[in-house]
Amino acid sequence: MKKMTDNDFELFICRNEKKSERRELLKRVLLAYGIKKEELSRAALCRTDLGKPYFEGLEIYFNISHSRDIWACLIGPDCCGLDVQYVKPCNYEKIARRFFSSSENMYVKDAGLEGFFEIWTRREAFGKYTGEGFFGEFRDFTDEKGEPASSLDTVVFREIEVDSDIKCICCVSKNTAGHAGIKVREDF
């Protein structure tokens, strides 16, 4: 296994999470990541004008996602976005027609529910990476072959296997991606 470096990200996953525990989970993540208690007590949780959370006074980036009973936090040295979704039955074709590009719709038509969530999680993770949300700058999240994009101009998408019924996509800067790993932790 590759040794973690200062360029690496850590993905913390908590199963059976309760909404009331979320702030405590974030505190545990920061401590497990190596932030000292004294630093944490001085750091203020703030939001950008677009609503993206950050800690004033800490040189870290993080992003949180949750779906049903799973909570996840991606943390690292550079901007990041994260989306985790249970793959569950929904009216995915109607949703795709409303929000996806024509090439994304073609992919979803061929790949079905699984394909829908491959595109959806990329869009969510990218919107959280930029801080603009799902409805930010319109992008096509398929590549020239009509497959889900593994990267865009400035970012790389990394799919993390959590469970067969869960899609988890991390979005990190191309500047960081070439030499950064993502360590998955459920033991914090």
Q: Is 61 contained in some domain?
A: yes
Higher per-residue confidence, 17 vs 39: 39
pLDDT at 179: 61
Domain of 60: which CATH number?
Answer: 3.90.470.20
pLDDT at 153: 82
- Give tens-digit pLDDT for 38-87: 999 999 999 999 889 999 989 899 999 999 999 999 999 999 999 999 99
Banded model confidence at residue 178, pLDDT cuts 50, 70, 90: low
Estimate the share of the chain in helix, then strand, then coil, as percent rounded to the nearest 5. 35, 30, 35
Average pLDDT, the chain: 89
CA distances from 11 to 24, 77, 90, 132, 139 (A): 16, 13, 27, 22, 25
- Give tens-digit pLDDT for 108-117: 999 999 999 9
Measured in whole angstroms, the distance separating CA 129 from the mean position of its chain's CA atoms is: 8
Q: Is 169 contained in some domain?
A: yes
Cβ neighbours for 123, distance < 8 A, ≥ 6 positions apart:
99, 134, 139, 141
Map tokens 């249970």 to a residue. 86
| DSSP per-residue string spanning 35-79 | --HHHHHHPEEEE-TT--EEEET---EEEEEEETTEEEEEEESS-
Residue 43 · residue 92 · CB < 8 Å: no
- Residues 137-159, mean pLDDT to the nearest whole number: 83
What is the C-alpha separation between 141 and 143, in angstroms, rounded? 7
pTM value is 0.89
Q: Is 92 contained in some domain?
A: yes
Report the 10 Å Cβ neighbour count for 69: 12
In 3-state terms, what secondary structure has residue 87? Answer: coil
Residue 86 · residue 165 · CB < 8 Å: yes
pLDDT at 169: 97
pLDDT of 6 > 70? The answer is no
Query: Total structural domains in the chain?
Result: 1
- Give tens-digit pLDDT for 95-109: 999 999 999 999 999
Q: Which domain holds residue 132?
A: 9-185
Q: Is 1 contained in some domain?
A: no
